[in-house]
Amino acid sequence: MRKRMRTTAVAAVAVALSAALAAPAVAAAPGADRAGGTGDHAAAARAVRAVVEGGVPGVTLRAEDRRGPWSTTAGVGNLRTERPRSTLDRYRVGSITKTFVATVLLQLEAEGTLSLDDTVDSWLPGLVTGNGHNGTRITLRQLLNHTSGIFNYTADEDFGRTYFLKEGFLEHRYDTLAPEDLVRVATSHKPDFEPGAGWNYSNTNYVLAGMVIEKATGRPYGEEIRRRVIAPLHLTGTSVPGTRTGVPGPSSRAYGKLTVDGSGPVLDVTRLNPSMASSAGEMISDSKDLNRFYRALLTGRLLPRTQLDEMTDTVAVDGTHAYGLGLMRTELSCGVTVWGHGGGIHGSTSDAVTTRDGRHSLALNFNGDWTGNTETVIDAEYCGD
């Protein structure tokens, strides 16, 4: 993982930075300032153009602050037709899914259905066991803040070859995997550390969290997200696809190289069965919805104060990043702090952040997964030049 943590369902694959694409032409979004943004957004507009010049096929971005919404795009959404990206694009959001999952679990705690101090085994008896894993000693809180020590199933070499590298992906991209299958991959390894004794990002934690939601409610985690978050907030571009292989329109194509070092030809990886990511990273959304979601979350519309305080109680990751319960805190170069999550899955790299008061939000997506850094764009939006 890179400095800001590559919080993705495909983090096991090392995607080295590469400028292998000839930079596509920059396309301004409808309604955007074609001279390069307006006012405080000018630096972000330049940063978006820079990542496309560096090899990202296309970018879509939406920011919202006291002046209102501002959107821009650069590059293309389809390399074959050179159709530009749209500010309305829906895209796979990868590990941003984790914030939605954590929100539902915290709602269930607020309702008295469960406690974050419950053990995993009390909800999923006998599932987390083997090679030193012990679900009787791991709490739901430790799942959500990545202090469980449970091995990250996407770091398994066989899983990576089968689902992330070219030959395996092209053969298995439409496979359906059950959450239990993903947990078994994880527990075939030793834990990273004793529960609570360290921090390590593990997608397995959120596969288990989704399973707990289903056990506690009697409904699939995706249905609970729709009932509790998507519908109340009117997130019309957001969905939990399950095993559906396409991305609803409007959307762009998604591109990857599916190699360890980021070399080789660019492949269209838009269609896949997202059950390989499950509740760790399968969702689809758009930039407007993501801004609305994080703004509602941080301003208390989705959680009572007690649960929001729990969510924002963080574990230090490095000098500028800390992780709460499905929520990342990042200190930018100018001292501004933003909250949100990043995420990626084949051909899609996304980020969504907001200030703690919800007054300045940003969501963006790259439709390529081998190059570019979303944090440079975030820093430009909040810190300018």
Closest CA to 344 of 1, 60, 8: 8
Task: Give me the catalytic one of 71, 86, 95, 361.
Answer: 95
* 239 included as an active-site residue: no
- Report how far residue 300's alpha carbon sits from residue 303's, in angstroms, rounded to the nearest whole number: 5
List C-alpha distances in Å: 13 to 7, 316, 329, 370: 12, 24, 24, 10
- Report phi then psi at 79, rounded to 5: -70, -30
Pairing verdict, β 267-268 and 337-345: unpaired
Angle at CA 154, nearest 5°, toward 175 and 249? 55
Pairing verdict, β 328-331 and 255-256: unpaired
Angle between helices 203-217 and 179-187 (to 10 degrees): 140
CB within 8 A of 84, min separation 6: which ones?
27, 58, 73, 75, 76, 77
Place of tokens 């696809």: 241
For residue 237, how far is the Cα from the chain centroid?
16
- Report how far residue 377's alpha carbon sits from residue 365's, in angstroms, rounded to the nearest whole number: 11
Collapsed DSSP state (helix, strand, coil) of residue 72: strand
User: Per the structure block, which two tokens stand in for 75?
Assistant: 């590059």
Place of tokens 């694959």: 13
CA 50, 282, 70, 254 torsion-angle sign: positive
- Report how far residue 239's alpha carbon sits from residue 130's, in angstroms, rounded to the nearest whole number: 34
- Report phi then psi at 208, rounded to 5: -65, -40
For residue 91, how far is the Cα from the chain centroid?
11
Contact indicator for 107, 228 with CB cutoff of 8 Å? yes
Active site residues: 95
